Amino acid sequence: MTERKEAWPARLALVAVVALALAACGVGGGGSGGTPTKGGTATFALLPDTKANYIFPMAPIQYFSVANFDQFQVLMVRPLYWFGNNGSVALNDQLSLAAEPQYSDDGKTVTIRLKNYRWSNGQPVTSRDVEFWMNLLRANKTSYAAYLAGGFPDNVVSMRFPDSQTAVFTLDKQYSSYFFTYNQLSEITPIPQAVWDRTSVNGPVGDYDRTPDGATAVYNFLDSQAKDLSTYATNPLWQVVDGPWHLKSFSTDGTLEMVPNPSYSGPVKPQLASFKELPFTTDSAEFNVLRAGQVDYGYIPVQDLAQRSYMSSHGYSYQPWTGWQITYVALNNSSPTVGPIFNQLYVRQAMQHLIDEEGWIKNILKDTGYPTYGPVPLKPTSKFLDAAEQRNPYPFDAAKAVSLLKAHGWDVKPDGVSTCQSPGTGASQCGDGIPAGTKLQFALQYASGSVYLQQEMEAMKSDFSKAGIQLNLTQQPFDSVIANAVPCTPGKPCGWDVANWGGGWIYAPDYFPTGDEIFASGAGNNNGAFSDPKLDQLIAQTTTDSSLKAIQQYEDYGSQDLPVLWTPVAQGQLSEIRTSLHGTGPQDPIFNLTPENWFFTK
Amino acid sequence: MIRYVGRRLLQSVVVLAGVTITVFVLTALLPGSTARAILGPKATPIAIAAFNHAHGLDRPLPVQYAVYVWQLAHGDLGFSYLLNESVGQLIGERLPKTLVLLTLAYAVALLVAVPIGMMQAVRRNRVEDYGITAVAFLLYSMPAFWLGLILIIVFSADLSILPPEGPQGGVDTYLGQLPALVLPVLSLSLITIALFSRYMRSSVIDNLVQDYVRTARAKGASESWVLYRHVLRNSLIPLITLLGLSLPVIFSGALITEAVFNLPGMGLLFWDAARRRDYPVLLGVTLVVAVATVIGNLLADILYATADPRVRLTGS
């Protein structure tokens, strides 16, 4: 925080407004007490080595990041539907540009009715702006981060825009309303057609988007403008917003400042005079600056958790930030050598029994993490999570792991390497494709640069040895691990057995936690080419059946089927927030920032 | 001299071509998909194919290299896969920061190390020599990140007299942030002073026993005249070699110091590019550092001739 200016009448008015808001919304914050003030600048520390560098919301995948989307673009240009509601992952009607979508009885037609939002140039946000987005997306879908073949917008057979406030989509088949709203409509961001529908800086605005060639030309123009980072704060295109903020300054090093959009027509108007994001090279560099009191909203690195009391005594409040994600270790089921071993459920069960999730959380994550027991995140709690998945079906139990292997024909050698003694497909034999003498010996590559991940993998190696499963650990950069962890191509060398890039899977911008992208047979991000027909069928059901039972059946089966090995989730961020900064909580599990809720107290 | 310089510049073209080919081939030999590394764990096969096509990664390696050289010949260093900026822009933003930081650090180091080294040589094997040697060894053995953190804790956290991070923004704003430069420069200088002063001490000791020093003294020259007019000039030659070798370092950045002091320069640009497979940036920075190496060596040779008239540069 750097400045606070105001007059008494405004302060009194603000006290009343904020008190009402607190009472009505339960808005939490960095601390409690004090007199709310209007104005001031709040500074927010970006995660290490991240920064905003793409402003056009239809971002290619390499620019689709929290720093670009959740903490930059959505502050200026709002998505059609806002997900994240009081700390949970749910459709937020208050912050959405449209009322909740209405599905026809046959589930094949969805009607969207826009609310009365306005662009900062005074024009209304209309269905033409939705059409503009859809036309650009259809013509340039392979350039968009969230595009999946056969998914959105391929599954929209036709679109109608009967009036300026209504959009009607006809779908190719019946979809689950959860799936279509959370994972398909979530990808729409109305953009200002009356300003952006052009193909050059000085060219006229037209209806270019209504032809595929024209839509491609418009996309190329907007993409080219988004490549000129030095003009982000000055380019008139990016100054037209419907969100609560617009850019005041932007530096290519990642520092940016936003000021309130005076024409914002949404429910919560900013109280701060401005909001700044600060980039950092490392978490240690950030913590040095935080300790010096030069950041209002920062984070404490896990390795510095012992300094929590120092921060607390210097006016900061500790608040872990829980993300909507699961973490896991991927197994290479497609490998001709180790794939047949991983294809055996009892082997996966034995391995899962050797992962001490609770122990890792206590000893490595210092009680800041939480376990993963299945495909739906345990935190934040959601309506998608059922009681069964909240229990660990494979608690840490080395003896159980040993007995599972022995029962299937393995000569188990604790602290050595177990070998298959009884090949074959019988109930007490090793299983299909596993010859006699096969060793339980795997290469595990994991992402470098994280102390806790290294400790977890070393603990895993140690615990796996109790059942004679030998893991040979290698560290590689995150990008190399994910580059290697792809299904093997027949006839080509396959360079991995087990992989852990540390990030697992974040359910965004597809917020409905089904497995169509990660665990279904042939899915683009099914790293080890895991395949189970029953799991496929349950995943498919989640996309067509609107009942919660469908997702719960899938998660219960997936939890026990182990398409991957579940591991604990580290908190997205261990926030340290100045106690005089309020309105920051609960922190959004999708990592969206809403500084329009923030205010300082004296 | 002109012929010599011309010949060395021609040789440098061959060296630079070799550098680019080596890096190009090495990056191609890395296992795994570059596109997947760049696009992340959510990349779909369609996105990967589109990326490979857009960046020519689906073409044979010699064709990729030919395209790169063609772009280079037109002054185009390429476009970052990840940072949404051209490599030229990125280097243009980062290099000035690195140059300011390292030039200041080397200047401070030279200003302190040369007199210290001379003083140690003149008073060798006395208490002050031993004391400075001990401090020099201590500083030289300190890991850069540790020294940086100690400086931050003492001067920023405890005494609150200096900022905990380097100057932010472009170098045009540095004049208004001079206090922010103190700790990063000091952190680099202290280690460099330790190194340079040891070289200087050794070189002065060697020269003090040379015949020309004895001759000067025999002719009645004062001790300070001998030291500053005769010994100093000859003793600087090893330091010139060190400085010549340091020029590439000045261009390639100080990774640890940049990371600790939140001062993104060439070091972090290169490190991140290598870690994240941002090959256009990797190649661009490598090329700049290679050019600096070639020029550094050339300048060192020319400075030898200036410092020592016995050295003659020829084109043969």
Q: What is the rounded CA–CA span in Å between residue A226 and residue A248?
A: 16
Cβ distance B51 to A227 less than 8 Å, yes or no, reads no
Residue type at A379 in one-letter notation: K
Residues found in chain B: 316
Q: What is the mean pLDDT of residues A150-158?
A: 95
To the nearest whole Å, the CA of B121 is away from the closest chain A CA by 40
For chain A positions 71-90, those within 8 Å of chain B (CB to CB) are none
pLDDT at A31: 53
To the nearest whole Å, the CA of B31 is away from the closest chain A CA by 7
Question: With 50 as the cut, is the pLDDT of residue A8 above it?
Answer: no
Tell me what the pLDDT averaged over chain A comes to. Answer: 92
Q: Where would I find the beta strands (DSSP E) of A509-593?
A: 565-567, 573-578, 581-585
Pick from B307, B182, B147: nearest CA to B243: B307
For chain B positions 107-126, those within 8 Å of chain A (CB to CB) are none
Whether A373 and A393 have beta carbons less than 8 Å apart is answered as: yes
**Chain A CB within 8 Å of residue B33 CB:** yes
Q: What is the mean pLDDT of residues B207-212?
A: 92
Cβ distance B165 to A477 less than 8 Å, yes or no, reads no
Least confident of A289-298, B6-15, B160-169: B6-15
Q: Coil, helix or strand for A410?
A: strand
Cβ distance B31 to A477 less than 8 Å, yes or no, reads no
pLDDT digits (tens, 9 = 90+) for A344-379: 999 999 999 999 999 999 999 989 999 999 999 999
Give contacts of A529 with chain B, Cβ < 8 Å. none
Cβ distance B168 to A49 less than 8 Å, yes or no, reads no
All structural domains of chain A, each given as residue ranges with its CATH number in brackets, are 325-394+440-566 (3.10.105.10)
To the nearest whole Å, the CA of B84 is away from the closest chain A CA by 6
Give contacts of B168 with chain A, Cβ < 8 Å. 253, 255, 278
pLDDT at B313: 61
pLDDT at A10: 38
To the nearest whole Å, the CA of A525 is away from the closest chain B CA by 6
**Chain B CB within 8 Å of residue A529 CB:** no
Cβ distance B164 to A292 less than 8 Å, yes or no, reads yes
Cβ distance A483 to B36 less than 8 Å, yes or no, reads yes
Neighbouring-strand partners of residue A168: A111, A160
Least confident of A26-35, A376-385, B113-122, B210-219: A26-35
pLDDT band at A157 (very low <50, low <70, confident <90, very high): very high
**Chain B CB within 8 Å of residue A511 CB:** no
| Pairs across A and B, CB distance < 8 A | 130
ipTM of the complex: 0.85
Least confident of A248-252, B58-62, B168-172: B168-172
Angle at A90 between CA A86 and CA A96, to 5 degrees: 85
pLDDT at B187: 93
* Residue in the block written with tokens 């007299």: B161
All structural domains of chain B, each given as residue ranges with its CATH number in brackets, are 2-85 (no CATH), 88-307 (1.10.3720.10)
pLDDT at A155: 96
| One-character DSSP codes across B262-314 | T---HHHHHHHHHHTT-HHHHHHHHHHHHHHHHHHHHHHHHHHHHH-TT----
Cβ distance B93 to A253 less than 8 Å, yes or no, reads yes
Neighbouring C-beta atoms of residue A223, cutoff 10 Å: 16
Least confident of A8-17, A544-553, B5-14: A8-17
Question: With 90 as the cut, is the pLDDT of residue B315 above it?
Answer: no
pLDDT at A30: 53
pLDDT at A17: 39
**Tokens found for residue A271:** 């109280």
Least confident of A225-234, A314-323, A485-494: A485-494
**Tokens found for residue A482:** 């994910």
Q: Coil, helix or strand for A211?
A: coil
Pick from A314, A173, A271: nearest CA to A595: A271
Q: Is the pLDDT higher at A245 or at A303?
A: A245
Cβ distance A281 to B276 less than 8 Å, yes or no, reads no
pLDDT at A435: 97
| One-character DSSP codes across A441-460 | EEEEEEESS-HHHHHHHHHH
Cβ distance A288 to B164 less than 8 Å, yes or no, reads yes
**Tokens found for residue A85:** 């509601």
- Which among A252, A280, A476 is the top mutation candidate for probing chain B, defined by the most B β-carbons within 10 Å of its own β-carbon? A252
pLDDT band at B3 (very low <50, low <70, confident <90, very high): confident
**Chain A CB within 8 Å of residue B149 CB:** yes
Give contacts of B263 with chain A, Cβ < 8 Å. 281
pLDDT digits (tens, 9 = 90+) for A509-553: 899 999 999 999 998 889 999 999 999 999 999 999 999 999 999
For chain B positions 202-261, those within 8 Å of chain A (CB to CB) are 258-261
pLDDT at A47: 92
- Using CB atoms, which residue from B34, B36, B258 is nearest to A486? B36
Question: With 80 as the cut, is the pLDDT of residue B308 above it?
Answer: no
pLDDT at B316: 46
Question: With 50 as the cut, is the pLDDT of residue A21 above it?
Answer: no
To the nearest whole Å, the CA of A397 is away from the closest chain B CA by 31
Neighbouring-strand partners of residue A569: A370
The share of chain A scoring above pLDDT 70, in percent, equals 95
CA separation (Å) from B312 to B22, B226, B227, B301, B307? 34, 25, 25, 9, 11
Angle at A83 between CA A81 and CA A87, to 5 degrees: 155
Q: What is the rounded CA–CA span in Å between residue A11 and residue B274?
A: 52
**Chain A CB within 8 Å of residue B43 CB:** yes
**Chain A CB within 8 Å of residue B165 CB:** yes
Q: What is the rounded CA–CA span in Å between residue B27 and residue A502?
A: 24
**Chain A CB within 8 Å of residue B277 CB:** yes
